[in-house]
A and B are shown apart, each in its own frame.
Chain A
Amino acid sequence: MAATGQEKTVSDYIVHHLTNLTYGKLPEGFDRYDGHTVGAGGEWAFAHGADEIAAMGFNAVHVDSLAWSIGLGVIFCALFRWVAVRASAETPSGLVNFIEMVVEFIDNQVKDTFHGQNKLVAPLALTIFVWVFLMNLMDLIPVDVVPELMVLAGIEYQKIVPSTDPNITMGMAVGVFILMLYYSIKVKGFGFAKELALNPFNHWVFIPVNLFMEIVGLLAKPFSLGLRLFGNMYAGEMIFILIAALFGAGILWVLPASLLQIGWAIFHILVITLQAFIFMVLTIVYLSMAHEDH
């Protein structure tokens, strides 16, 4: 934190680390940080500070989250494609062996939970597990390294853990939700509407009550899915930042802060794997429920 300058307080440091690199459309008439006012029709620009991000509203993109997320997704695809090309019935070795182990693990999870016939679920689970794991893994890179390098390179903000951005986790949860709705309608047809209307009280009088309860329950699934991952990762990242901030509290704090940092990082290895696993298992369970016709 010392590198960011003496005039910065701890809260500035934390806020800086928790701010996304945002590119968005500033509304007409907004006074920017450098004094000039946005002209007619608005203006697309990188945000500088929280008030500009707030002014952008929905018309903004978290460039860092999206870039890291897509970059990690590309790494996942490239790695697994590389192995897929080399996979054969011969004796596997090294990386191929490891990737096959992951694939077999996912395959077993899917077979245990999902009993329908669907060629999408297993690759979906694999993508979610590995991708979310890689995104969470960014949390183990010391919090200052990339943001400080980016500041040196002239980029003001950088949040390198995509899963600490609700847009990313909710994006995936919404993707899963779309699949849930699609398969519910495809498999059950009209039965899906009946399920929503006639559960848990099977009488026409209760249809509005049932509908309300079932739709809330249905919507709770993607929200719990996305927000669980976001909450866990955000909290973990926050604790990393707070521990990092301890280093600035004086020379006496260096040793305890180091120990805390190491301890939390080791514990976090478990957390990131577990969160990736939970996201995957819940996805399989939700899709399995979408396929079950009562």
Chain B
Amino acid sequence: MNINLTIIGQIVAFIAFVAFCMRYVWPPILAAMEERQQKIADGLSAADRAGHDLELAQKAAVDRLAEAKKEAAVIVDSANKRASTLVDEAKAAAVVEAERVKELATAEVEREKAQAKEQLLAQVSALAISGAEKVLAAEIDADKHAAILEQLVKEQ
């Protein structure tokens, strides 16, 4: 174990290497590592934020869906109401129409009845007349009765 000039050389080399490391090695490596750490932290917080945003969006979507359902129910309800009023209206119109048709038919029946009566009357008169003619023909006196007929014609 002999101490000699080597120790001086080693001290100089030691100072030189430490100085080099302090100037050119340590700062850039540490800066890069810190920058990366910052980047990762930023990324993580961004992911957190995105998750939170997603949650909010999901909640909003659920809300919107419920709203839409409610709206749809309202629409269906009103449509049902409208349909039933339409049906009612149609029923009422049908009743009115039926009434009118019935009235028309009744009027027709009356008219027909009247006509038939008239015809019957005419036929009965004609039959009576022909019967009367037959009866009369047996005992008619054209001359005697001509005067009556003439008088009848005159009266007409």
User: A77-B21, A123-B22, A175-B11 given as contacts; is B29 within 8 A of A99 (CB)?
Assistant: yes
* Stretch of B12-20, B87-95, B144-152 that contacts chain A: B12-20
Interfacial residues, chain B to chain A (CB-CB below 8 A):
1-11, 13-18, 20-22, 24-26, 28-33, 35-36, 38-39
| Residues of chain A lying within 8 A (CB to CB) of residue B29 | 80, 83-84, 87, 99-100, 103
Q: Is A60 a contact of B20 with CB atoms below 8 Å? A: no
The B contact surface, by secondary structure, is: helix
Q: Is A76 a contact of B17 with CB atoms below 8 Å? A: yes
Whether A167 sits at the interface, judged by CB under 8 Å, is: yes
| Residues of chain A lying within 8 A (CB to CB) of residue B7 | 167-168, 170-171, 174
User: A53-B2, A89-B39, A103-B30 given as contacts; is B25 within 8 A of A175 (CB)?
Assistant: no
Most central of B8, B20, B25 by chain A CB within 10 Å: B25
Interface residues on A, range: 35 or more
A253→B87 CA distance, assembly (Å): 117
Whether A131 sits at the interface, judged by CB under 8 Å, is: yes
Most central of B10, B18, B22, B39 by chain A CB within 10 Å: B10
| Residues of chain B lying within 8 A (CB to CB) of residue A76 | 17
| Residues of chain B lying within 8 A (CB to CB) of residue A100 | 29, 32-33
Q: Is A77 a contact of B5 with CB atoms below 8 Å? A: no
Q: Is B5 a contact of A61 with CB atoms below 8 Å? A: yes
A62→B4 CA distance, assembly (Å): 8
A200 to chain B, nearest CB (A): 32
A269 to chain B, nearest CB (A): 24
| Residues of chain A lying within 8 A (CB to CB) of residue B5 | 24, 58-61
A100→B25 CA distance, assembly (Å): 11
B30 to chain A, nearest CB (A): 7
Q: Is A168 a contact of B4 with CB atoms below 8 Å? A: no
| Residues of chain B lying within 8 A (CB to CB) of residue A131 | 17
Q: Is A87 a contact of B28 with CB atoms below 8 Å? A: yes
A-B contact count (CB 8 A): 132
A56 to chain B, nearest CB (A): 7
Whether A11 sits at the interface, judged by CB under 8 Å, is: no
User: A73-B13, A80-B21, A100-B33 given as contacts; is B6 within 8 A of A126 (CB)?
Assistant: no
B129 to chain A, nearest CB (A): 132
Whether A273 sits at the interface, judged by CB under 8 Å, is: no
A25 to chain B, nearest CB (A): 9
A231 to chain B, nearest CB (A): 10
| Residues of chain A lying within 8 A (CB to CB) of residue B39 | 89
Q: Is A61 a contact of B25 with CB atoms below 8 Å? A: no
Whether A270 sits at the interface, judged by CB under 8 Å, is: no
A172→B18 CA distance, assembly (Å): 11
- Chain A, Cβ-Cβ closest to B2: A53
Q: Is A172 a contact of B33 with CB atoms below 8 Å? A: no
B141 to chain A, nearest CB (A): 150
Whether A8 sits at the interface, judged by CB under 8 Å, is: no
- Chain B, Cβ-Cβ closest to A119: B22
Q: Is B3 a contact of A166 with CB atoms below 8 Å? A: yes
- Chain B, Cβ-Cβ closest to A234: B1
B3, B9, B20, B28: the one within 8 Å of A66 (CB): B9
- Chain B, Cβ-Cβ closest to A57: B4
User: A61-B9, A80-B25, A123-B25 given as contacts; is B36 within 8 A of A89 (CB)?
Assistant: yes
| Residues of chain A lying within 8 A (CB to CB) of residue B30 | 103, 107, 122
With A88-B32, A168-B7, A174-B7 already in contact, 17 other A-B pairs whose C-beta atoms are closer than 8 Å: A57-B4, A58-B3, A59-B5, A61-B4, A80-B29, A85-B28, A89-B39, A90-B36, A100-B33, A123-B22, A127-B14, A165-B6, A167-B7, A170-B3, A171-B14, A172-B14, A175-B18
Whether A249 sits at the interface, judged by CB under 8 Å, is: no
